[in-house]
Chain A
């Protein structure tokens, strides 16, 4: 029996694909900065009641459009409300809209895309034409049209954004299913007599999870901008509830006298969108072999 010489490195433990992807993700500084920023905004949204120094809805006629000071760190708005408190509470609307609308897109888009890719034939042809039709309408214009007909509210804005973003997920899922369904392990699952639903959800879905996760992260960034855009147009969060988009809508009328009203909500949208874009880019690099 040969003794292992001292100092010889032991064979590295075999890592699962998920663990390898996680390692690659952690090595990407941009993705980690993005993740830290996302966590920062989530904490801000969850702990808004404790973090905000003032009531975001409390008006004060003696503090109208006051510049930043010790009492109001980011100044006040046209009704004397604290801008910092409204920015902190506004994170809730943006994050909620971003996550909920992407969940709606995933919930509708993934099953439909799987049906198109897996069943093929006329089902695929029909779904593909409907998807093409939805993709032909620019995302925000479609969301505005949906929000206009559904009525202005944050819930309807989330539904409008979710439905408008659905075709991207249908198309992505369909393409992924088409490439995965011809793999040997799917053929094997079919050969042993698994029902179609089991094959789709047990064998195909886990293998198309990575690109869906990347797209979902980037879609949250787009949804945050879309919610801010709808609120900016008056079709999202309704006053007096704080939302970064509606704060900017008011702020544009006072840009010469009270620029702080516009700077901070806009910067918050930018940073939140940037954080999801950085995280999404990092995830794509870590999970998609073509980008490595």
Chain B
């Protein structure tokens, strides 16, 4: 276990190094003088001079990278030019909202995706299997921002059941918070449910043909016990780890979903930063997202390693 952890960490450090280079390089894509662009439309010479000194723009590129990464390693992701706040503080303020949205979306995706996948595998080639595959294809092909607009049209405009936009913290009013988040969470979970359904179906089909499932049936166990206790438990191992890998899809989707439902989260932060040309925030969000994704991947790998006796052996 320890050697596996060391081996995995050995691959993560260079990956993080290249992620930092990639994100630092984004600034080099700005056409023209970065200080002039960052200074905004006024281009006040004092601001330009301040930015040039702050970002060491007169220094060679590798030196500037070292200054930048030195700050990042000390938790300094720079300051937002518009809000005049440290980027890390802004991200930490917005993150809980997106974590709530992403968690609810993941629960919805797991419930729909795994149930549909089991039904589809157990009743292979039936109408239910066909229907589940159609639903999965629908989930993979629907742009979530369009689905969001259509749900607002149905549940907010026509039926008046749910609020069309806004966010209420669960600590203020749990019921109102769930009401405001259920539609965005469903929209976000929809595509992941489709992916999970396909993987559950294929994992269950493999497991249902395994010897130990045949043995369980031969012992005379009820089919429900065979499917849920013997087959699903083993099929779930790769599916749970896959859930961690879908984190990237969740965050990408959150950008659009938060925009449609006006939720003040992580996704809206990056979009607002893009329009305000607040590049430090854009870089900070990408860096935090990538680091979280890499960490979750590591945890998923370790979980897979721990629950799979064949890998441990």
Q: Which residues of A contact B (CB under 8 A)?
A: 129-130, 132-134, 136-142, 144-151, 221, 225, 228-229, 232-235, 248, 251-252, 255-256, 259, 262-263, 265-266, 269-270, 273-274, 277-278, 281
Contact = CB atoms under 8 A, between A and B. Distances in A.
A255 B270 contact: no
Contact of B249 (A130, A132, A138, A232): A138
A266 B256 CA distance: 14
A274 B143 CA distance: 10
A145 B26 contact: yes
B149 A266 contact: yes
B256 A233 contact: yes
Contacts of B293: 136-138
A107 to B, nearest CB: 19
Given A144-B274, A233-B255, A262-B153, 8 more contacts: A136-B297, A144-B271, A148-B273, A148-B279, A252-B145, A269-B143, A274-B137, A277-B137
B251 A151 contact: no
A136 B249 CA distance: 11
A133 B146 contact: no
A191 B25 CA distance: 43
A138 B26 contact: no
Interface stretch (B15-23, B216-224, B303-311): B15-23
Contacts of A221: 141
Given A233-B256, A262-B150, A137 B274 contact: no
Q: Is the interface of A mostly helix, strand, loop or mixed?
A: helix
Contacts of A233: 255-256, 259, 271, 274
Contact of A149 (B26, B255, B256): B26
B29 A270 contact: no
Contact of B255 (A144, A259, A270): A144
29 contacts: A133-B16, A133-B18, A133-B290, A134-B22, A137-B19, A137-B22, A137-B23, A138-B251, A138-B252, A139-B252, A141-B255, A144-B270, A145-B282, A146-B26, A150-B29, A232-B143, A232-B145, A232-B256, A232-B259, A233-B256, A233-B274, A248-B145, A248-B146, A252-B145, A252-B260, A256-B153, A259-B157, A262-B149, A277-B140
A25 B137 CA distance: 18
A130 B270 contact: no
B169 interface: no
A149 B149 contact: no
Contacts of A150: 29
Contacts of A142: 286
- Looking at A134, A149, A151, A228, the one whose CB has the most chain B CB atoms below 10 A away is A149
B149 A141 contact: no
B153 A255 contact: yes
Contacts of A130: 18
Contacts of B157: 255-256, 259
B126 interface: no
A145 B141 contact: no
A150 to B, nearest CB: 6
- Looking at B17, B30, B273, B290, the one whose CB has the most chain A CB atoms below 10 A away is B290
A256 B154 CA distance: 10
Given A141-B286, A233-B271, A270 B142 contact: yes
A255 B261 CA distance: 13
A133 B18 CA distance: 6
A270 B142 CA distance: 5
Contacts of A141: 248, 251-252, 255, 270, 285-286, 289
B84 interface: no
Nearest to A265: B146
